[in-house]
């Protein structure tokens, strides 16, 4: 995510995501599984180093079954570490329904999908006995487009933004202006922007 710190990318939650609530071994009680939809924003918070940290904000998820639904709202921190960027951690403060905010933490776990996609299981209580668990699979929204300033048009303002971000991403992809997701702001991105030009 190049450009100014705070540039954000919108992520959409994938259809294989789930919210689990109930008992895990060794406890014995029902475990409810909810389908999960929603979105959040990811933006860099620190200079790239051995640990790359992103702010998770505007997280709004809806967990549904045939009979009911519950909302999960909040934010937190997503981090990538390891010599090859092969470890990840997601910490969230979530309001589940109308309850008080609770802390969810994946701990440091292996990266399972290719960045910029995210796949991670985030429990509240280490999946021991009664717990609430967010099984999150997400990727940058397909709504990310050449409309870089979000004003509904692709024009000279978006072209200027893309040119000012030209070069390698300061953070792992996706980054601001990286329309093809290759970690570079270059000719391919310029071609995409010009192809979407509305004036």
CA separation for the pair 139, 134 (Å, rounded): 15
Question: Is residue 141 scored above 80 in pLDDT?
Answer: no
Question: Is residue 50 scored above 90 in pLDDT?
Answer: no
Ranges of each domain in the chain: 9-140, 156-195
Question: Is residue 2 scored above 50 in pLDDT?
Answer: no
Among 57-71, 73-87, 111-125, 139-153, the least confident range: 139-153
Counting beta carbons within 10 angstroms of the beta carbon of residue 29, is it exposed (0 to 12), middle (13 to 18) or buried (19 or more)?
Answer: exposed
pLDDT at site 101: 94
Domain 9-140 falls under CATH 2.60.40: no
**Alpha-helix runs per DSSP H in the chain:** 156-164, 187-195
Question: Is residue 80 scored above 90 in pLDDT?
Answer: yes
CA separation for the pair 8, 3 (Å, rounded): 10
CA dihedral 165, 171, 172, 174 (to 10 degrees): -40
In this prediction, residues 9-23 reach a mean pLDDT of 91
Question: Is residue 174 scored above 70 in pLDDT?
Answer: no
Q: Is the pTM of this model over 0.85?
A: no
CA 38 vs CA 93, 105, 160, 173, 195: distances in Å: 16, 19, 31, 21, 29
């Amino acid at each position: 995510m190049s450009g100014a710190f705070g540039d954000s990318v919108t992520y959409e939650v994938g259809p294989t995501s789930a919210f689990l609530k109930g008992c895990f071994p060794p406890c014995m009680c029902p475990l409810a599984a909810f389908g999960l939809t929603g979105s959040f924003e990811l933006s860099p918070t620190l200079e790239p180093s051995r640990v790359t940290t992103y702010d998770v904000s505007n997280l709004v998820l809806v967990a549904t079954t045939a009979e009911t639904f519950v909302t999960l709202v909040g934010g937190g921190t997503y981090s990538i570490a390891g010599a090859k960027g092969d470890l990840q951690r997601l910490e969230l403060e979530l309001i589940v329904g109308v309850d008080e905010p609770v802390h969810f933490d994946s701990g440091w776990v292996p990266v399972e999908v290719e960045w910029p996609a995210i796949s991670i299981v985030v429990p509240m209580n280490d999946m021991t006995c009664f717990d609430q668990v967010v099984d999150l699979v997400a990727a940058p929204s397909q709504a990310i487009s050449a409309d870089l300033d979000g004003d509904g048009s692709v024009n000279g303002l978006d072209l200027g933004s893309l040119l000012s971000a030209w070069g390698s991403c300061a953070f792992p992809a996706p980054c601001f202006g990286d329309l093809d997701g290759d970690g570079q702001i270059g000719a391919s991105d310029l071609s995409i922007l010009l192809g979407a030009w509305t004036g």
